Every structure is written in structure tokens, then in C-alpha cells.
Structure 1
Amino acid sequence: MAIKIFIDQGHNPSGHNMGAEGFGLREQDITYQVGVYLADLLRRDGRFEVRLSRNSPEEILGTSNASSLRERVYMANSWPADYFISIHANSNENPNINGTECYVYQSYTQAYFLAQHIVLGIVARVGTRDNGVRTNPSLYVLRRTTMPSVLVELAYLSNPEDAELLMDKQYAFADGIYRGMLRYFGLGMAE
């Protein structure tokens, strides 16, 4: 039976719940495209079934920040997905901070081990710094989903080197996530 993966491309293209910006890049555009690439990789692999939170670049979820998050969680829970992957790009006031990290609801869970593989997959494929896996039980999408859920912070829009990778290596980020997932599930590359 196929493993059901719900990919949430963080943030909306306009209006409420918009993401960070840096170096002329918008988080919501990067997360949309990386999510599409990841969905394509998973769909070509018959072992997975995939749904996206945003199916077009203009799609807006919810009518407020809270309802946008609620709608993403509802879509995953009602399917129901086996795993929830929320894709984001990070930002920090300090432009020297860079790298890839994942957030999970709690340590040493299935989500935590999946997140470890995702970080390693991105770092190996894209060359970002490994910031590891962190717990953050206050994040709505991690707290309210009923399946193992990982929030992926691809890299920092506020760091010039990371921003360049986010602009030029969107497919590689998706491929890194995919390869990390395969390792977590103990699966080889699809033929």
C-alpha cells in the first residue's frame, strides 16, 4: 500500500500568512516550488501517494493566519495522510546565521527520526549547514496534525549564501528531502 504524504507549502502568495523575504526572494514562492518538485519525485515513485496544500502558485488558504494553518492541518487529517511535511524558508536578524533545520513536536518519535534523515538528505544534496532537529510543540501544524509531522526550514533567506541556494537549487532541496525520506523508510531509489 502506498505511503500517503501530505506536503504543506508554507505560507500564502498574498494577503494573510505571507512568509519571510530576503534578497528579492519570497518564502511562499520557494516553498510552493520545492513542494511541487517534491510531489513530482514522490508521484514518480509508485510507493507514495501525495497531496499538496497549494496546487497553484496563486492559491490562498484560509481567510486569516489562524484559518490558513487550520485548513492545512484539516486537509492532512481528513485525508488521512500517513506523514505531514511542511516546507519553509528561515530568516534571522543576524545575516550570518545559515543552514537547514527541522522542527518536530517531540524528540525521539517517528517524526524526529524522519526529520533527522530529511536534514541529512538536504545537507548532502545542497551543501547547507546541518543545524539538526529541534522540538517546538507550540507550532500549530505540528501540534494539531494526527500523523508524524515535520516542519522543514530549508535554509535562511536572510543569509546571502543560503539565499543563493534557495534561488538556484530548489529542485536539489526537494531531491534532498526525497532521498532523506527514502532512507527513513528503508527504501532504495525508484527505478
Structure 2
Amino acid sequence: MNVLAGALVAVALCLHVGPASAADGGKPEPLLAYGARIIGDDARTRIVVDFDREPAFSVHYIANPERIVIDLPATAFGFDAKQLGARGLFKDIRYGAMGEGSARIVLTAIKPVKLAIAKVQKDEDGKGHRLVLDAEMTTKEEFAALVKGQSWSDPADQQVTSAIPAGEAPKPGDFIIAVDAGHGGIDTGAIGVDTKTEEKQVTLAFAKALADRLNREPGIKAFLTRDSDEFLSLSERVQLARQHHAGLFISLHADTLKQKDIRGATVYTISDKASDKLAADLAERENLSDQIAGKETVAEPPEVADILLDLTRRETQAFSISLAENVLGSFKDQIGTINNPHRHAGFQVLRAPDVPSILLELGFLSNVEDEKLLLDDQWRLKMADLLTDAVKRYHSSVAANGG
């Protein structure tokens, strides 16, 4: 039976499986994944996910590293994360939203792997359905053939729109600011050491508070790159800032470090060479966001040597540094910062050539005291006030110099 199943699946793996149901003329309710389990070893591993109704799904393979991606309609994952902990053939398992109408499970393998079985079957009581995935080890050559022989449309590549509220579009002359809540959806980011709070929740709550505060200032219009728990690729975040002619891009994060005694805010600007190992390590982790979500790695086209573009980048970098200095000036004696709080590294999300950008580490979820502050409403409002003051000073300085 396994041989026959393997032959059938090899032909059908990239086909969409199962019906997609929706209410007539209405928005379909998300599926509920209410249970999961994983068994097996590093030769063969089975994953079972329980759903309240039949899920449509599709399967794809991605190389570097070897991953299996399971795309689903909008799904609420209601089971304990421990039920789907990595084991057997898989060293990492992620799942979550990819956008308003889609979700994804990403299985990162320890070696080349393929699905011998990928099917949905009814529960014994007929009330629910289960997705059954049987993975087995394979050769590098067969995995490469699976990657090469597939075609797919990534749901994360859907058109992304910003969260500027309807009826509140920027007026001519408004100073526009993109407020970027780091992580989201399938990419949870760091996990709090004490309360197990997810970084994506911290950044979204702070982004909303900051945008609200900025929007109370005359002549300033802030918008959110995401206003819900959804995944955005790094390039989509940059694209949104440029599409809406942002004069600033502020990306918010709250990472974790192995050194749990380190605490305080840090401001990062873009640089091809990292200022130190901590900055380099952090940039490397943040730049893995797309990989975590099961995005294909697409080679960037070679940049055309353009002296005007190079001058634009240099000017933008200078503006970014000025913004960072204004932020740290506001924080002085008000907000704790790490040693050498202005650092730089090659963050992909800061690479817009014409939008001054900073990445602000609000604090570290690996530190118990920082975690308490990150979850404190009053501290969040204080930070938003100080950042708004910094933005106003930056804007006045740029305007005074003809920018």
C-alpha cells in the first residue's frame, strides 16, 4: 500500500486537494484546527492535524533549507504548541496566518524529505476531519526534482494594502510615517521568558499606540504596515512604505538574547557592515523571517550602477542616522537603553533606498524586567510620547534644511 500511495502522491502532490467551502455571498468562517500529534523517527514521521471540517490544502517543497509547506485556507490553530513540537524528520515546525484568507504549516527538515501520504480523512465519529501527512527520508536528487517539478502561487504574494483608515487619507503636505509591527501570522518572533508572550503581539500593540499618538499631531499621518495578526514579507513591508510615499519607516521589535541580563532599548540603522556581533546576530535572525514563513528564496536582480541612486542611498542613510540620534535624545534619562544604543547592521527591512528607516528594539523579552515593561500600558504610552517628540524634532530639522 505504501508503494502505491507513494507513486500516486508523487503525481498529485502539487494539486489542490479537497473542496473549498464558503457561505453564499459571504466570507467563509476560518477552519478550526483543534488538535495535532506527531510520531516517528528520523526515517519516517507522521503528522496528524484535526479540523472541525474538511480542509482544502496544497503541498510544496522549498530548498535551502529543505522544507515542506502546507497551504490552507484561513485557519485558527487552537491546539497547544506542544502537540506539534518538532521531532523525527523535522527540526522546526511553524504554523499560523499568512494573510486574511490563508494559513500555512512549514516543516523544516533535518535532511531531504518527501511526503509519501498527504490526505484528508473523516474522523471515526463523522463530525470532523483530519489531515494526515506521512513524511519519509529521500535523496538530495529526488528532493531537487520535487522542487523543480512543481508550480505554485504563494498566498503570501497577494496584494497587500496598508492599514490607513478609510476617510483619513493623508492631506497634501502631510509628513507620512510607516509604523511597522515586526513579525506576525506564522512568524511569531521571540517568546517572552516569563509570560511566554509572543513578540508579534508586543510589536502590534505598540505599533497601534504609536500610530495613534503620531496621528494626533497636526501635519503628521502615520499608518500601520499591518493592523492584525498577519504575515508580511520583509520586501512587502518596504514596498508599503514606498507606495505610500513615507518620509519615515519605523520597524518595531522586542527580541531575545542568550544573555538574559542585557536589557534596554536599541536603535538600529542600515549598514553593510555590522557595528558588532550582537547587531550582526540580530540582523541575521530578523532576516530569516521570510524563511520561517516558507517563502521561496528569490535571487535579487543585480543592482545597476547608478550614481544618482547611490547619492540617494547616502542621503537616506544620513537622514536615518539623524532620526536615530533624535530618538536616543528623547530617551535620555527617560528610557533605559543598552550600552552603545545606536548600532547598525544589514537589516533587510531597512533597505528602502529613498525612505529614512530605523529598527527599534523596544527591549528584550529574554529579560524579566524588560518583559514587564513591554506589557505595561503606561510605559507603552510614555514610549509613544517620546518617539513622537523625536519624530517632530527630526521633521523640523529636515524642513529647516530644505528637506
Name the TM-score, length of structure 1 as normaliser.
0.84
Unaligned stretches of 5+ in structure 1?
A: 63-67
| CA distance, structure 2, for counterparts of residue 145 and residue 51 of structure 1 | 20
The aligned counterpart of 1:65 is none
- Asked if residue 147 in structure 1 is aligned to residue 391 in structure 2, the reply is no
Q: 1:120 to 1:27 in 2, by over 3 A?
A: farther
CA apart distance, 1:75: 0.7
The aligned counterpart of 2:188 is 18
CA apart distance, 1:77: 1.1
- Asked if residue 48 in structure 1 is aligned to residue 220 in structure 2, the reply is yes
CA apart distance, 1:173: 2.1
CA-atom RMSD in angstroms: 2.0
Q: Is the 8 A contact 1:8 1:35 kept in 2?
A: yes
Higher share of residues assigned helix: 1
**What are the residue-to-residue correspondences of 1:29-68 with 2, within 5 Å?**
29-56=201-228, 58=229, 60-62=230-232, 68=233
CA apart distance, 1:145: 5.2
Deviations 1:38-71 (A, max 9, x none): 1111111112111101123x3x134xxxxx1111
Higher radius of gyration, 1 or 2: 2
CA apart distance, 1:124: 4.1
Q: 1:115 to 1:77 in 2, by over 3 A?
A: same
Corresponding letter in the other structure for 2:322: F
Unaligned stretches of 5+ in structure 2?
A: 1-172, 272-313, 398-403
**What are the residue-to-residue correspondences of 1:1-191 with 2, within 5 Å?**
1-12=173-184, 14-15=185-186, 17-22=187-192, 23-24=194-195, 25-56=197-228, 58=229, 60-62=230-232, 68-106=233-271, 109-125=318-334, 127-131=335-339, 132-136=341-345, 138-144=346-352, 146-168=354-376, 169-186=379-396
Runs in 1 of length 4+ with deviation above 4 angstroms?
none
Aligned residues: 176
Aligned to 1:21, what secondary structure does the other structure show?
coil
Aligned to 1:95, what secondary structure does the other structure show?
coil
Name the TM-score, length of structure 2 as normaliser.
0.41
171-180 or 78-87: bigger deviation: 171-180
Q: Percent identity?
A: 32
| CA distance, structure 2, for counterparts of residue 135 and residue 104 of structure 1 | 5
Higher share of residues assigned strand: 2
Deviations 1:56-107 (A, max 9, x none): 3x3x134xxxxx1111111111112111000111210111011111111149
Structure possessing the higher relative contact order (Cα contacts under 8 Å, 6 or more residues apart) = 1
Deviations 1:91-141 (A, max 9, x none): 10111011111111149711011112213324544x3125421111x2111
